[in-house]
Chains A and B, each alone.
Chain A
Amino acid sequence: MLLLASNPIGDALNSSEYIFPILECFHITGFALSIGTIAIVDLRLLGLGMRNQTPAQLATDVAPWTLAGLGVMLISGPMIFLSDAAMYLRNPSFRFKIGCLLVAIIFNYTIHRKVAMSNGSSSGLSKLVGALSLLLWVGVVAGGLFIAFY
């Protein structure tokens, strides 16, 4: 628990008034890239958006950018967390967010990927998976925002 109270990364973050907002800018840009690219596939699974491409083509071609966005998000996020770890751990919105995030990431790389690669774009299953994916990622954003209002 000592690590939570004081750690080198957290101390560095708290030593400058600019580092924290800069990290937040990276965090937002990162999740815009990852969630936006996933949403392109989700829309397609729902039978909307880029309908001239198959879900498999879209899922394959956005994948590196989704991963890049996730990478930026998953580096900046934990750094923000370490700036005040004890507060975040007590915050129910934060716990909701992390729960949604874990489910969303696992879902994205298992069921979501499998359904997109199978190209069954008009089936009920595809639509369900697309809608669920959108819902999970909006849940992550919502949980993150509500941390400040709890």
Chain B
Amino acid sequence: MSLFPFFHFLQSTEFATSIRESALVYPVIMMTHLASIALFGGMILMGDLRLLGLAMKDHPVVDVIGRLRIWKRIGFVIMVTCGFLLLAAKAELYYPNPFYWLKMTLLALVGVHALVFHRSVYGNLPAIDRAPQMPGTAKVAAALSLVLWIGLVCAGRWIAYYEPAKTAVQAAHR
């Protein structure tokens, strides 16, 4: 089953149309999306670098990852909400774009990553601090997180550079 009817519906809603047609609202949403990446994406990078033993080694993992968690969550919600609004405004344009789907795949993998490493790493921070040295699982989790998040940002940027074949453009405008 094609998801295109859903994308068409999304873009046709009055709400999405008003975002698309506003000269100010659309870029402000995109700016908020980007600013949340800057503010909270950087905190995710620091958490990963801490687990890899590269940054903030004098401070417990509980503090570096745990204390910033609520802020990363707030940032994540703002980022995803803005991202969804950007998608809704131009859904039919995103639909044929492979970088959009790559980005969504990476986003889904971020969710899988969180589930896979919850027990051993992210829900187990005090034990990691007590361990004589950084457990290998934590380092693997951090390295994967770095790859996923940097990949997400790059895929997102590349969405703007995809030039669809003519048929795809025509399909999107039908």
Contacts and interface: CB of A to CB of B under 8 A. Distances in A.
B39 interface: yes
A142 B35 contact: yes
Interface residues of B, number: 35
Given A40-B68, A141-B34, A145-B34, A32 B42 contact: yes
* Interface of B, helix, strand, loop or mixed by DSSP: helix
A34 B58 contact: no
A62 B67 contact: no
B161 A49 contact: no
A61 B41 CA distance: 18
Contacts of A40: 42-43, 46, 68
Interface string A119-150: 00000000000000010011001101110110
Contacts of A148: 27
* Interface of A, helix, strand, loop or mixed by DSSP: helix
B38 interface: yes
B60 to A, nearest CB: 8
Query: Which of B39, B56, B154, B157 counts the most A-chain CB atoms under 10 A from its CB?
Result: B39
A33 B30 contact: no
Contacts, number: 105
Interface string B105-132: 0000000000000000000000000000
A24 B68 CA distance: 27
A134 B71 CA distance: 14
A21 B42 contact: no
A47 to B, nearest CB: 12
Contact of B46 (A28, A36, A43, A144): A36
A65 B157 contact: no
A36 B60 CA distance: 19
A35 B43 CA distance: 9
Interface in B4-58: 23, 26-27, 30-31, 34-35, 37-46, 49, 55-56, 58
Contacts of B71: 43, 48-49
A21 B154 CA distance: 8
Interface residues of A, number: 38
A30 to B, nearest CB: 10
Given A39-B39, A149-B27, A61 B58 contact: yes
B166 interface: no
Q: Which 6 pairs across A and B sit closest by C-beta, in order of nearness?
A: A36-B42, A32-B41, A35-B38, A149-B27, A25-B154, A32-B42
10 contacts: A25-B153, A28-B153, A32-B153, A36-B41, A40-B68, A50-B67, A138-B39, A141-B34, A142-B35, A145-B31
Interface of A: 17, 21, 24-25, 28-29, 31-37, 39-40, 43, 48-53, 57, 61-62, 64-65, 69, 134, 137-138, 141-142, 144-146, 148-149
